[in-house]
Amino acid sequence: MSISLENVAERYLTARKLSSGTRKEYRSTITKWTAWGQGVAVDQIGRVQLREFVDWVYQKASDDGGSNAGRTANKARENLRAILSWAWEQDFLEKLPRFPKPKPQRDIAGRHYLTKSDLNTLYFATFQLERPRGWNHPLTIGHYWRAALVVFFNYGVDTGTVFRSAAFHEPILWRHIYWRPEPPNGQGRESRYGWLYYRRVKTKKQFYRPMNRVVQAHLKSLRQDEIEVDLPIFHSGSSRPNQQFQKLCELADVKPKQDVETGEEKPWVLKDLRKTCATYYDEHMPESSIEILGHSVGGVTYRHYAHRDPLAFKAIMSLPQPSAFTALVHGFDGECPCCRRKFVQA
């Protein structure tokens, strides 16, 4: 019995654990397929229909004034490939159709990561943050932001994992910190500096990550003699942490990011620290960012058989840190580790 692509796509989305943003992209592709108007049953889709559909998406994106029609068409092509590949695995198709070649697209983009010099100046600038109104925590706002920058850089976590700014966010709590070297999930080798647990906002995937020396020092600097284990560790001083981060960028005199093609300037956001984390992990140890950031990967062997925990462990424990992050480790809280000047003057 023939089945439509729309029905197969819904079954595919039900079977796969995808983020809301990815589901939206797939449904957008199916809407385009329906609007194309030449929809045929899944078992009758061939190279001709796929090529005509991709050409139609490309032309429509161009007519609508899209700046990168090739990327739009290629995105629809990849979504269809994923759906039809799954349909073939589920025996809805006897043979997977050949796909047309990708359309040419522009891959030019601006710099979307912060340099280590930028991170150093951001760390210095936390000492200049003013006390927020109604602040009743025992430490200054700068203490929390310094530790947050270290966690963002080392783990590439989501904004909601550090600063809870929405009801559905699950921030890191004090009970998520394990100071003992034994792994809390009973797997892997011991970490002399302890362990950190968190859950991704988009996929809800759980992570048990080892703490390196820098992360442990900054989290210990926030620990009080008496703490409630169910309280969050970090406080941004505002219900909108991105605004506070942009204020920090102004204090540090970090220039806005710029689109190479259009020249448009955009303010930095906390999500850019996740991209920064990926950049430095891949520079330090290629392909380690896939496991560190929790990205989905292709290939049955890599997904199910390759044990990637040792790679993540080694990458986290050996990642070169910005020089300012090591000041607390060496006991120079508030002083530059290289010249011993106060951070406000460094």
260: tokens are 């190479």
Type of residue found at 254: V
Helices (H) and strands (E) counted in the chain, each on its own, are: 13, 5
Find tokens 């992990």 and name the residue: 281
Q: Is the dihedral of CA 24, 25, 27, 31 positive or negative?
A: positive
194: tokens are 């302890």
Q: C-alpha distances in angstroms, 10 versus 23, 86, 87, 344?
A: 10, 12, 11, 56
3-class DSSP assignment, residue 173: strand
* Contact criterion met (CB below 8 Å) for 293 and 273: no
Under 8 Å CB-to-CB from 116, ≥6 apart: which residues? 280, 322, 323
Phi, psi of 210 (to 5 degrees): -70, 145
Q: In 3D, which of 123, 115, 173, 157 has the Cα closest to residue 270?
A: 157
List the chain pLDDT tens, one digit each, 346 residues. Answer: 578 888 888 999 988 877 777 888 999 999 999 999 776 788 888 889 899 999 999 999 988 887 788 889 999 999 998 898 888 888 888 888 888 888 888 765 556 789 999 999 999 999 999 999 889 888 999 999 999 999 999 999 999 999 988 888 889 999 999 999 998 887 778 899 999 999 888 888 889 999 999 999 999 999 988 888 899 999 988 889 999 999 999 999 998 887 655 667 889 999 999 999 999 998 888 878 888 888 755 444 444 434 456 888 999 999 999 989 988 887 767 666 555 566 554 3
HEC string of 31-45? HHHHHHCCCCCHHHC
Q: Is the dihedral of CA 211, 296, 303, 315 positive or negative?
A: negative
Type of residue found at 35: A
Give the C-alpha separation, 26 to 82, whole Å: 10
Under 8 Å CB-to-CB from 259, ≥6 apart: which residues? 109, 110, 265, 266
133: tokens are 């109104």
User: What local confidence, expressed as pLDDT, does residue 3 receive?
Assistant: 83
Give the C-alpha separation, 111 to 275, whole Å: 10
pLDDT tens digit sequence for 80-116: 988 988 888 888 888 888 888 888 887 655 567 899 9
Give the C-alpha separation, 19 to 17, whole Å: 7
The contacts found for 289-292 with CB under 8 angstroms, 24 or more apart, are 289/156, 291/315, 292/155, 292/156, 292/316
191: tokens are 């970490």
Give the C-alpha separation, 192 to 240, whole Å: 35
10 Å Cβ neighbour count for 85?
A: 13
Domain boundaries, the chain: 5-89, 116-172+221-326
Report H helices in the chain: 5-15, 20-36, 47-63, 69-89, 116-125, 141-155, 159-162, 213-222, 241-252, 271-284, 288-292, 300, 309-318
Give the C-alpha separation, 191 to 178, whole Å: 10
pLDDT tens digit sequence for 37-71: 776 788 888 889 899 999 999 999 988 887 788 88
Under 8 Å CB-to-CB from 263, ≥6 apart: which residues? none
**Terminal C-alpha separation, the chain:** 72
